[in-house]
Chain A
Amino acid sequence: MKKFKHILAACLTGVVMSSCSDSFLKLAPVSNPNAETFFKTKADFDLASNAAYATLYTIYNPEGPISYMGELMGDNVTILNISGNMADKWQFRDYTLAPANTMVYQFWQDFYRSLYNINIVISKVETSELEAASKDKIKGEMMFLRALYYFNMVQIWGDLPLVTAPITAAESYGVLRSPASEVYAQIVKDLQFAADKLPLASAAGVGKASKGAAQSLLGKVYLTMGDKTKAANTLKEVVNSGQYQLLPNYTSLWDPKNKNTKESIFEIQFLGGSSTAPFSDYYLGFFPNSNALGFYGSGMNQVVDDIWNEYETGDSRRVASIDTGFTDAKGVFTKVKFPKKWQDKTAPIIGQRIAANNNFMVLRYADVLLMLTEATGDAQYLNQVRKRVGLPEYGTAAYPSKYNSIELATEHERRVELAFEFHRWFDLKRTNRALTVLPSKGKAVTQAKLLIPIPNVVRDQNSKITQNAGY
């Protein structure tokens, strides 16, 4: 019996010893960083704001929301064969969008996921121990991005759930659509902060949002809100800052060797040459849906003859912007028009994709100049843009007579100057020309269809979210 006691004691000790090990159960992830210890240092916030900038890759993707809205719903392009759910993609082109459209939901998710990445930095930096200057710069950059996204979203959907800080799932059910005016108020507030706190382009750092970027965007926001005076004042500050100028050669604007030029105001940064770096997908995305050349084009934004014909005789921008076909391995030429601006002839093909190095300009000085003409009615800004490509100035006899008002001249100039840069549909909407221009190009568009539907998944989850009229 004594023996038994010994064994039992040994046994129990064994049990007790091993059980004193809550640490045995507390396992931290081995291959993932863990959010619990994050958002403390300046380095943490740099990493987090880099991730916020990286959301630009999604939003401004060649198959992202701005591309679909800016070009496909306009009159510059079409899509034929395209990979993925073709029927849903055609709905944008044809103005037959249904709330069940999977792309519409995808875009909704893209925007709000991106906004989370921005909002969390803003809210965490607020309470951090970073010095005030660092705080302001980080906040300013993030608010620029937030304004950029909400500005696009409010034009796409109208009234929106306005989320400006991380919210829990439970809280989210109470966040319904705010009127568009409130969304615009938030955009203006964010951009004013950014314009106030961010340094000039020369001091902001390559690729970072700058004072000029905030002001340029704010100018566009004012134009869209219909306040031409404020727009003109804000845009003139950009001109007067002396930070920007037009490049002499239009074609070189997208040259991968010629990034972040004096004309560029806000530019999305890519790095070509390797599958591990974020390379530029634009040329590939717009290449016809073919793999004749060893890479797989997506077939997005195929150029229609309507814009081909919009270019004036002798406008070099047409050749710079539109490719007219490609030659396959056997030397057979296929005639098809597609956007050319982001071609990188030296890029390697990696896994059926071209690892191109071109950047993408969200805002550039030509856009600012044309907006200034739109805001002031003064053709001098527009004429700077025309002079670069050697076309006759507005107001001279050689100027094409069919654009017989400064409004039509601006519309024409914006279309060809900014072709395929995701501006067209937004421009037509802003100038209230969409319902005149688009139906004449065979688009079944109505006032209601100028806003896309709220995805039905969103309303299935929260029935208090309203639907746009017409869906």
Chain B
Amino acid sequence: MKSFLSLKYLRYFCFIFLSFCFVQVFGQSKVISVKGKILDEAGKPVPGVSVVLKSTTTGTISNQDGLYSLPVPEDAILVFSSVSYESQEIAINKRSVIDVTLMPSNKILNEVVVVGYGTQSKRAVTGAVASINNKQFQDRSFSNVAQSLAGQVAGVNISQAQGAPGSSPFIKIRGVSSITAGTNPLLVVDGVPLENFNLNMINPQDIESVEVLKDASSAAIYGSRGSSGVIIVTTKLGKVGKTNVSANFEYGSQKVTRQIKMMDAQQFIRTYIDAKNNAWIDAGGKATDGNALRPTLLKIPEDFLTNPQQFGTGTNWQDVMFRVAPSYNGQISVSGGTEKTQYMFSGAYLDQTAVLDMNYYKRLALRSNIKTAVTDRLTVGLNLGVTTIFDRTEGTKGKSDVISLGLQSNPHFPVYNENGNLGYRDPNSTWFRFTAFGDMNLWHPYSLTREVDKGTKSFNTLGTAYLEYNILKNLKFRTSLSANLFNTRNHFYWNDKQKYGYSAVLAAQANAGNSYMLNWLSENTLTYDKQIGDHSFTGLVGYTSQKQRDETMYVAANNFPNDLVHTLNAGTVTAGNTTASEWSLLSYIARLQYNYNSRYFLTAAIRRDGMSRFGDNNKWGYFPSVSAGWLISDEAFMSDIKSINNLKLRVSYGVTGNNQIPNYGAISLLAASNYVYGGTMSNGLRVSNIANPNLKWEKTNMFNIGLDLGILNNRLSGSIEYYNSLTRDMLLFVPVPDITGFSSQLTNIGQMRNRGIELNISSKNVVGNFNWTTDFNFSRNRNKVLQLGPGNAPIQYVDNVVTVRTEVGQPVSNFYGYIFDGVFKNQAEIDAYPHHASTTPGDPKVRDVNGDGKITDADRTIIGNNQPDFIAGMTNTLSYKGFEFSFMLQGSYGGEIANNNIRYLGTWDNGRNFYASMYNYWRSESDPGDGIHFKPNVSYKGLQKQFSSYWVEDASFLRMKNIRLSYAIPSKLLNKIACKSARVYVNAENVFILTKYKDGYDPENTTYGTTTYSSSMETSGSYTSGNAPVPGAFQGVDYGSYPLPRVITVGIKADF
């Protein structure tokens, strides 16, 4: 906050204050009477045209003959508008007769699109911008507006990695442009660029439109942060006219429809016994040998052998942890305005119970957007959104979180033991007999959900205050000050002993954390419009500064006397720390938009960014772009071709950057490393990373060419895009030889290419009383690494055994491992083929990839990649009178998913439960099973625990993403209750999915997030998250995930 008080800002505010002083009120001018005739293109009179004095509500309407007349000030401006014609503004200039010819409006071309630092008509767009408006997601039951973009926008791959309420989807715009730097697109909310902002903080129903800036020329105005694309979210503002009160209530029900098929108790027991016997036989024993003869590791519970039937089918832990969960969502908004002042106030409350036991998500979102013209020249406004989220979300952290642990738990244990406790570690339970075996597994879901008191409370305030001043008629100055203040608190208390349901009997423990973030932004722009004949110019220059500070706090305690008090004061504090971290950014922007006759368009822009994260020698970077458009259909020579309504060619080229690296990535940091001398601890400091004063921006150059087409009265419209982007100076944590003392260094190295095509088609199949439209989009992206670090050494990351490898000539992050060609059915097959020395019949057949007759590390090869060959979406909407029915299909083809849970559930792993799919494993030469699943074995054989094609599955899917039915209640019924309009609707999300991914919940599941660098990583001196060294490299690795529930919602929406 110190900087706010600095001299610089004092001056800044003085300047704003002065700007007010310059404001001058227009003088009164003489009133005259103006009349005229309004005609259409063909010269026919147009009745019903509204003729209004600009910036007032005074006006009139043209009569049957197209005639109008009204008294007006002699220097005023008249606005002529009508539904099917383009509006016109005409200055009176002391004339008394003004005849007007209106041109029919081309709706598509005149829609307004929000671009960086301004808006444009679609006609003038020269880059690749996709726009989604409120109508396209108004009935969808999402907490995050980005979720509703899935399947709707070509070139934008939105995947819901985790199904928990409030989980943000991963957004990839036109492929992956970085290997180790962050790849999240920049989010711009009401003009405020925010890095890694949680869009759940904006109530989707407050959003007017979402624009996706896909190509470099559109995104270049956001310069250094644009290379993963930009998503612009614009909230609603009231429209001139009568106040509108809108109310909406929804009830929803969520259900997990796709469980992972796990073995039941009988199957598990048999597999467990076989795994032990197979190992014992390998060691020279006999399957019939009793426990007395066996080593500890191979002993089998007597119950399993003598009376397995007592366990029945056992417990399906998924039935225990998942439930059908309701949700309620209600909101009220009030909007409206006069020519001078427009406003929108809204309040919304979402109360969602999660499908996972004890989990919930509650959000209160309040918004106030207001804009007022203080004088004809001066407009001020304030957008303020305050959001509170209370949630408890578990199961998304992978292998050691509730859901994965539930799957790993043995099915023969009951939900409650005879004492009402949860687990077999209860010393007073007969189940305690199983503690004699080290390979019994139970992480009872309730021991983590009901024996734990936890939750998170988040508070977000995002406010933008702005002032616009028309210095001259065409010259506008705008200044804004924005702040995003985010606070989150979490608490955790684990009951003493957890009712014996956890893998250990633990004493009570608790912790609490708090994090704080303040991001402020000051923007100042000057915009100049000029029309000279057919030439029109818009110029923009600006200067912005932005700074963010993050702080964290953490306290832990134990030694609680009992479970009565869960706050930390009841125990003994054992650990605590606080951290802080900052970044800052200064930018200069300039843009010139030119068009000739609204037919030829040219845009050139440049941004200069300086950022604290980069090395002293390279803090600043330039990001230029240029683009052009040609509206061919407006050419005279096209006027004969009636069937073509719209034909436009767009070409663009630009440079964008990526700054998503750790805040102090260029600086060599020291980390604590303490030692003890004679019973006293002495502080120590070690160098935790290598400095790089030359660290600079990662840059992406992108070329884009697009063609828009509308034919048959725009019944069929669409666009096609081709792009080619080259990322260079990649911000890479390059693995360096460990003999340096470090395993990686952040440096600018390497090149990568993304190129692809995108196709959008929109067709009005049937029009009339019955309407049927189809919207289809298709995109494919090809990613290829062109150059890497010294010697182009491949970059390889390993999590458990799952290996992702990035090498030149290949797409980023290939899965890399052995190929399993089924199972060796007998000794003869083994003898006839190269095999790992430990191989016995029933063990995996590993392919000798390099053909050297041996199975070695060199036989590992590329076995998949998560990036799809193409993605597509199709929405069909049918409407008849008040009914509207639509359904959306979303598909992804050609990617693979690596199932890291195979480690626990697809092979023997210390007695954890198994996938039911592997039950048909090799049992003997005469009972060889399905030929895919090798025999279970406590002593692993033949590379079964190594990463292989056995772990990789096809991630292609076709999903019925959404089905929606709505009915608009006829207005004659509504009039009686003073209701303008009302709709009832039913909406279903994630209705069904067709996929080959059998042993996971969903082919979109990914356990690790996209790469982001948080301040807590800074202070720990390690830029890793969980087990994955670089989480972004592990996209498409499922290491325990949350299923995507099916959600069915019914709702009613009414406007008064």
Residues from chain A with a CB closer than 8 A to the CB of B524 are: 11, 14-15
CA distance A449 to B547 in the complex (A): 57
- In the assembly, what is the distance between CA of A380 and CA of B808, in Å? 65
Binary interface encoding of chain B residues 404-430 relative to chain A, with 1 for a CB under 8 A from any of its CBs, else 0: 000000000000000000000001000
Q: B970 in the interface, Cβ–Cβ < 8 Å?
A: no
Give Cα A269 to B11, complex, Å.
59
Stretch at the interface among B109-117, B156-164, B241-249, B795-803: B795-803
- Beyond A18-B545, A87-B945, whether A289 also contacts B678 by CB under 8 A is no
Q: Which of B334-342, B385-393, B679-687, B926-934 is the interface stretch?
A: B679-687
Which residues from chain A contact B532 at a C-beta distance below 8 Å?
A: none
Known contacts A7-B477, A15-B543, A276-B575: does B678 contact A34 (CB below 8 Å)? no
* Contact status A461-B438, CB under 8 Å: no
A448 at the interface (CB under 8 A from B): no
Q: Select which of A80, A102, A169, A173 is within 8 A of B734 by beta carbon.
A: A169
Contact yes or no, B506 A54, CB < 8 A: no
B667 with A36: CB separation less than 8 A: yes
A175: B residues at CB distance < 8 A: 737, 739
CA distance A120 to B668 in the complex (A): 13
Shortest distance from the beta carbon of B215 to any chain A beta carbon, whole Å? 28
Verify if B670 is at the interface (C-beta below 8 Å from A): yes
Known: A4-B472, A112-B739. Is A329-B586 also a contact (CB below 8 A)?
no
Q: Is the CB of A19 within 8 A of B543?
A: yes
Question: In the bound complex, how far is the Cα of B671 from the Cα of A278, in angstroms?
Answer: 15
In the complex, the answer to whether A25 meets B737 with C-beta atoms within 8 Å is no
Q: How far is the CA of A208 from the CA of B683 in the complex (A)?
A: 15
Chain B residues positioned under 8 Å from A424 (CB to CB): none
Whether B770 sits at the interface, judged by CB under 8 Å, is no
Residues 441-494 (chain B) with a chain A CB within 8 angstroms = 469, 471-472, 475, 477
Q: Which of B509, B737, B910, B939 contacts A172 (CB 8 A)?
A: B737
CB contacts (< 8 Å) of B296 on chain A: these are 80, 336
Q: Which of B786-794, B825-833, B958-966 contacts A (4 or more CB under 8 A)?
A: B786-794
CB-CB under 8 A for A24 and B545, given A259-B678, A461-B737: yes
CB within 8 Å for A278 and B675 given contacts A18-B12, A48-B685, A457-B796: yes
Interface size on A, residues (CB 8 A): 108
A29 interfacial contact with B, CB 8 Å: yes
* Cβ contacts under 8 Å, B940 to chain A: 86-87
Q: How far is the CB of A4 from chain B (nearest CB, A)?
A: 5
Q: Provided the pairs A4-B471, A10-B19, A14-B524 are in contact, do residues A38 and B685 lie with their beta carbons within 8 angstroms?
A: yes
A313 interfacial by beta-carbon distance below 8 Å: no
Is B742 positioned at the interface, with any CB of A under 8 Å from its CB? yes
Chain B interfacial residues counted at CB < 8 A: 110
B837: A residues at CB distance < 8 A: 96
* B676 CB contacts on chain A under 8 angstroms: 207, 269-271, 277-278
Whether A116 lies near B742 (C-beta < 8 A) is yes
Interface bits A29-69 vs B (CB < 8 Å: 1, else 0): 11111111010000010111111111100000000000000
* Interface segment, one of A185-193, A210-218, A241-249, A290-298: A290-298
**Distance A55 CA – B681 CA, assembled complex (angstroms):** 15
Per the bound structure, the CA–CA distance linking A10 and B20 in Å amounts to 12
Which residues of the other chain, B, contact A345 by a CB distance below 8 angstroms? Answer: none
**Given A4-B475, A10-B18, A163-B739, A296 and B612 touching (CB < 8 A)?**
no
**Distance of A234 Cα from B73 Cα, bound (Å):** 110
Q: Are A17 and B438 in contact (CB under 8 A)?
A: no
Task: Select one of A22, A32, A96 contacting B669, CB under 8 A.
Answer: A32
In the complex, whether A148 has a CB less than 8 A from a CB of chain B is no
Q: Is A225 among interface residues, defined by CB-CB distance under 8 A?
A: no
When C-beta atoms are compared, the residue in chain B nearest to A271 turns out to be B676
In the assembled complex, the CB of A118 is this many whole angstroms from the nearest CB of chain B, namely 9
Q: Contact: B1018 with A51, CB < 8 Å? A: no
**B582 an interface residue at 8 Å Cβ cutoff?**
yes
Taking a contact as CB atoms under 8 Å apart, the answer to whether A54 and B675 are in contact is yes
Q: Is the CB of A294 within 8 A of B11?
A: no
Which residues of chain A are near B740, meaning CB under 8 Å? 112, 116, 163, 166-169, 172
The 8 Å CB contact of A32, one of B22, B506, B742, B1019, is B1019
Q: Which listed residue (A14, A33, A167, A205) contacts B11, Cβ 8 A?
A: A14
Q: Is the CB of B791 within 8 A of A294?
A: no
For the complex, is A314 an interface residue (Cβ under 8 Å from B)? no
Q: Are B436 and A169 neighbours in the complex by a CB distance under 8 Å? A: no
Evaluate whether A277 and B796 lie within 8 angstroms (CB atoms) in the complex, with A11-B524, A53-B675 already known.
Answer: no
**B669 close to A33 (CB less than 8 A):** yes
- B319 in the interface (beta carbon within 8 A): no
> Do A172 and B857 form a contact, CB below 8 Å, given A85-B800, A276-B575?
no
A119 at the interface (CB under 8 A from B): yes
Contact in complex: A458, B558 (CB < 8 Å): no
Which of A53, A172, A330 lies in contact with B739, CB distance below 8 A?
Answer: A172
With A and B bound together, what is the CA distance between A278 and B683 in angstroms? 11
Q: Quick check: is B610 within 8 A (CB to CB) of the other chain?
A: yes
Alpha-carbon separation in the docked complex, A217 to B105 (Å): 91
| CB contact between B509 and one of A113, A173, A351 (< 8 Å): that residue | A351
Contact, CB under 8 Å: A81 / B12: no
Taking the closest CB of chain B, its distance from the CB of A36, in whole angstroms, is 7
Hey, which chain A residues are within 8 Å of B790, CB to CB?
169-170, 173
Chain B residues with CB under 8 Å of A90's CB are: 939
CA distance A116 to B738 in the complex (A): 10
Is A6's beta carbon under 8 Å from chain B? yes
The answer to whether A330 touches B427, judged by C-beta atoms less than 8 angstroms apart, is yes
Query: Are A271 and B679 in contact (CB-based, < 8 A)?
Result: yes
Expressed in whole angstroms, the minimum distance between the Cβ of A448 and any Cβ of chain B is 15
Residues of chain A with a CB closer than 8 A to B670's CB:
32-35, 38
Q: Which A residues are in CB contact (< 8 Å) with B794? A: 460
Query: With a CB–CB cut-off of 8 A, which chain B residues contact A54?
Result: 673-675, 684, 686
Q: Does A132 contact B (CB under 8 A)?
A: no
User: Interface 1/0s, chain A 442-460, versus B by CB < 8 A?
Assistant: 0000000000000011101
Is A346 positioned at the interface, with any CB of B under 8 Å from its CB?
Answer: no
Tell me if B1054 is interfacial: C-beta within 8 Å of chain A.
Answer: no
Cα A51 to Cα B739 in complex, Å, equals 18
Whether the pair B674, A278 counts as a contact (CB closer than 8 A) is yes
Is A108 part of the binding interface, using a Cβ–Cβ cutoff of 8 Å? yes
A205 in contact with B677 given A10-B19, A17-B11 (CB within 8 Å): yes
Question: Nearest CB to that of B580 among chain A residues?
Answer: A30
Complex alpha-carbon distance, A260 and B910, angstroms:
40
**A117: Cβ under 8 A from any B Cβ:** yes
Say whether A130 faces chain B, with CB atoms less than 8 Å apart: no
* CB contact under 8 A between A31 and B1018, given known A17-B8, A169-B790: yes
Q: A35-B691, A329-B505 are in contact. Are A112 and B741 (CB under 8 A)?
A: yes
B638 within 8 A of A: no
Asked if B15 is at the interface of the complex by the 8 Å CB criterion, the answer is yes
Q: Is B432 an interface residue (CB 8 A)?
A: yes
> Given A7-B22, A116-B740, A27 and B612 touching (CB < 8 A)?
yes
Q: Is the CB of A207 within 8 A of B678?
A: yes
B893 at the interface (CB under 8 A from A): no
The residue of chain B having its C-beta at the shortest distance from the C-beta of A352 within the complex is: B504
Query: What residues of B have a CB within 8 angstroms of the CB of A167 in the complex?
Result: 739-740
Q: A19-B543, A31-B579, A296-B504 known; 17 other A-B pairs, CB under 8 Å?
A: A10-B15, A19-B588, A24-B3, A27-B612, A33-B669, A46-B682, A49-B684, A86-B910, A86-B940, A98-B856, A115-B741, A117-B687, A163-B740, A166-B741, A330-B427, A461-B735, A462-B793
**6 residue pairs A–B, Cβ–Cβ below 8 Å:** A7-B19, A15-B543, A113-B741, A117-B673, A259-B679, A289-B438
Q: Which 7 A-B pairs have the closest CB atoms?
A: A116-B741, A50-B684, A206-B678, A51-B684, A35-B668, A51-B686, A291-B504
B residues near A (Cβ < 8 Å) are: 3, 8, 11-12, 15, 18-19, 22, 24, 295-297, 427, 432, 435-436, 438-439, 469, 471-472, 475, 477, 503-507, 509, 522, 524, 526, 543, 545, 547, 558, 574-575, 578-586, 588, 610-612, 616, 619, 663-664, 667-671, 673-688, 690-691, 734-743, 745, 790-791, 793-794, 796, 798, 800-801, 837-838, 856-857, 910, 939-940, 945-946, 1015, 1018-1019, 1021
